[in-house]
Amino acid sequence: MQLKHHYGRILRRLAIAIFFVAVAVLLYMRARAIDWGKVLQSLRHFEPSTIALAAAAALASYLVYACVDLFARAYTGKAIPRLLSMQIAFVSYAFNLNLGSLIGSIGFRYRLYSRFGVQPELIGRIVGLSLVTNWSGYFLVAGVAFLLRFVQLPAHWDLGTLGLQVCGAMLLITICGYVALCAFSKRRSWTIRKTELNLPSATTALAQIGLSSLNWLLIGSVLFVLFEGRVDYPTVLAVFLLSSIAGAATHIPAGLGVTEAVFISLLGSRMPHHELLAAILAYRGIYYLGPLVLAFFLYLGLEARARRIGLPDLADAADAATSKSRVQDSARTITQS
């Protein structure tokens, strides 16, 4: 059984490596044909009103995501104030987007919640619930977008538009199953690698899905604004959703290169490549780099606040490393399941 699991893990890593190489080759081939001088020129031609509107949509998205950790306040006995939970979620989200989930979603949540007195086993539940909340909205929005053919895949893509519709239907079935499980399951908790996960009520599950769906829609609107009406919103949203799952599958921080490859492949016939890349670069600046700077200073402020009120770390370095490893193992299990 262990040998089978070992080979399965090797095959998954091999598939990811092949995909990454394919993306790198595609980017190299596309990059050679792009006039980067025109890309920079297109960046300079964005109207201040366009940048402001995209920044407002990005801010709204971050504020919505900051509410994700409010669902987990029951795990902490509501000892963590709402505003503090939102600040921790904001910091974790910004670092997660730029540096990956192990550093952002897991590492920063572990560090900050532990600094404010939350026990490691509870942090594992918070991480798990945040992951479920985030992807529940993706399942709904992507399921609808793929099922209704918001985007047509190129003929040479093996998945095909019909295959994408099937994927959309499966996503919707899965999210409906999650809500049904929350509503009717008699068993309300599971233990995964020594981390207890509690099943929320159906009302909470619907709130999770609604909040997360709004966040995904807002992210799509940032890109739509930067495309300045050249591509309709449903198409932009569907392409973004495809690029997001591709980036998650390759575990590349910020989906660097993957987002560009997917957008060029699917929208390259609708817009000049230099304008398309300029919009994506502007998106990265507004949605990734700008919030990362804010998150860095907010993180320093939270650390200073913890020291000012005299909150020590929960354990010594060895115990903290062990606890953090458990949180990471739990998050990996939740992500893979």
The domain spans of the chain are 1-33, 36-336
Q: Nearest CA to 60 among 214, 226, 228?
A: 214
pLDDT tier at 148 (50, 70, 90 boundaries)?
Answer: very high
Is residue 129's pLDDT more than 70?
yes
The pLDDT assigned to 120 comes to 82
User: Which of 38-47, 189-198, 201-210 is the least confident region?
Assistant: 189-198
Is residue 335's pLDDT more than 60?
no
Tokens of 185: 């399951």
330 vs 321: CA distance, rounded Å: 14
Q: Nearest CA to 60 among 211, 262, 163, 241?
A: 211
The pLDDT assigned to 119 comes to 84
pLDDT tier at 275 (50, 70, 90 boundaries)?
Answer: confident
pLDDT tier at 172 (50, 70, 90 boundaries)?
Answer: very high
Tokens of 200: 């929320």
The pLDDT assigned to 319 comes to 45
Q: Helix (H, G, I), strand (E, B), or coil: what is residue 191?
A: strand
The pLDDT assigned to 258 comes to 79
pLDDT tens digits, residue range 226-265?
A: 998 889 999 999 999 998 887 777 666 666 677 888 888 8
Range 323-333 average pLDDT? 49
The pLDDT assigned to 327 comes to 47
